[in-house]
Amino acid sequence: MDLKKELPRQIFHFINGTIIALAYIRWEAKVGWVLIFMAVVGAFLSWRHTKKPFPWAEPFLRLLDRPEDARRFPGKGAVLYGLAVGFSLVVYPRYAALGAIAVLASGDALSTLVGKAWGKRRWPWNTRLSLEGSGAFFVGATLFTWLFVSFPMALVGALVGSLVETAPWPLDDNVTIPIGVGMVLALIFY
């Protein structure tokens, strides 16, 4: 996918995560439960869309979905994002939940954009991702997450998130990043 197509997705990713983090500060775990409910409804609507497409959804899917997901699992990224972030907000302590969503919102978006634009050197274990993208993830996630948690937590969360993203497992990083970062922050800073 080219950078021009990826830009709206990543802007949406960042803004969505920022709004969720700010809502969580105000309403705490209730936001997580709402996200889980919305993700379950979204999964049903996705299934329904594969049988008989919703005309109103097509412009959003063309703008925000990856082509391979739009056919098999429309809205896959949003559904998985909602489930994993909702889980993180419900299960983890406040600091770990905020760290997890801030790292996902900023780091994942930056790594994709920088990696697509300037990524040259590839990770040996995951050649789809670049060192430049991971560096952008780490720096951007550290600085952005620091707005929500202490600097040591932001630094650890960004490091964990940038490493988890490079793992070559089949799970979507919208799932692995918030769950991995939240778990490590909850364990280390308990």
pTM, 2 dp = 0.92
pLDDT at 169: 87
Q: Which residues of 67-94 are buried (b: 16+ CB within 10 A; e: fewer)?
A: eebbeebbbbbbbbbbbbbbbbbbbbee
pLDDT at 71: 78
Q: Which domain holds residue 82?
A: 3-188
169 burial type by CB count under 10 A (0-12 exposed, 13-18 middle, 19+ buried)? exposed
Domain count, the chain: 1
Q: In the chain, which stretches have pLDDT less than 50? A: none
SS3 call for 130? strand
Cβ-proximal residues to 70 (8 Å cutoff; 6+ apart), any chain: 61, 62
pLDDT at 61: 83
Asked if 95 and 189 touch (Cβ cutoff 8 Å), the reply is yes
pLDDT at 1: 55
Task: Enter the tokens of residue 168.
Answer: 């070559």
pLDDT at 70: 76
pLDDT at 66: 79
Give the C-alpha separation, 96 to 88, whole Å.
Answer: 8
Give the C-alpha separation, 77 to 52, whole Å.
Answer: 20
pLDDT at 62: 81
